[in-house]
Amino acid sequence: MYAIRDNENKVKGVSRWPSHPDDVEIDLSSDEWLMYVAERDAPDPKAVGFDYNGTMVPVTNEDAVGALQMEAGFERMGLQGTVFKLSNGEKLPLTAEDWPAFKQAFFTVRASFFAE
């Protein structure tokens, strides 16, 4: 097997055939290869999200759009309750009383992915 590397010598992928002029043979037991595989196979942390009262709440873009719509409902339209259908298939019932704490938790976790 061969590791296909970019110009910074980072592994981009693996090929069984040395078809790329920059193909470099790699030791599959090396720490570099193990780190590459672990990173490649790790779940997206935004899709994993955070635990909110026993429900795993992802913070993907799709979920953020839903949260913004709920914000409008609770804060501008007087919505008293709804069920937030999350991208992972979970359903989270929320009331107007629950909303401020949920909003703070959701947007704090979501914003952490954009901090340097």
Q: What is the pLDDT along the chain (116 residues), one digit of tens a residue?
A: 455 566 676 666 655 555 545 555 556 666 776 676 666 666 666 777 899 999 999 999 999 999 999 999 999 999 999 999 999 999 999 999 999 999 999 999 999 888 66
pTM of model > 0.85: no
**11 and 50 part of one domain:** no
Cα separation values, 25 from 3, 16, 40, Å: 6, 10, 19
**15 and 56 part of one domain:** no
**25 and 54 part of one domain:** no
Counting the structural domains of the chain, the total is 2
Per-residue confidence (pLDDT) for residue 35, from 0 to 100:
72
**51 and 105 part of one domain:** yes
**52 and 106 part of one domain:** yes
Q: Are strands 81-85 and 24-25 parallel, antiparallel or unpaired?
A: unpaired
Cα separation values, 59 from 18, 37, 50, 76, 77, Å: 39, 24, 8, 22, 24
**49 and 106 part of one domain:** yes
How far from each other are the two terminal CA atoms of the chain, in whole angstroms? 36
**52 and 67 part of one domain:** yes
**8 and 57 part of one domain:** no
Residue 17's domain comprises 2-41
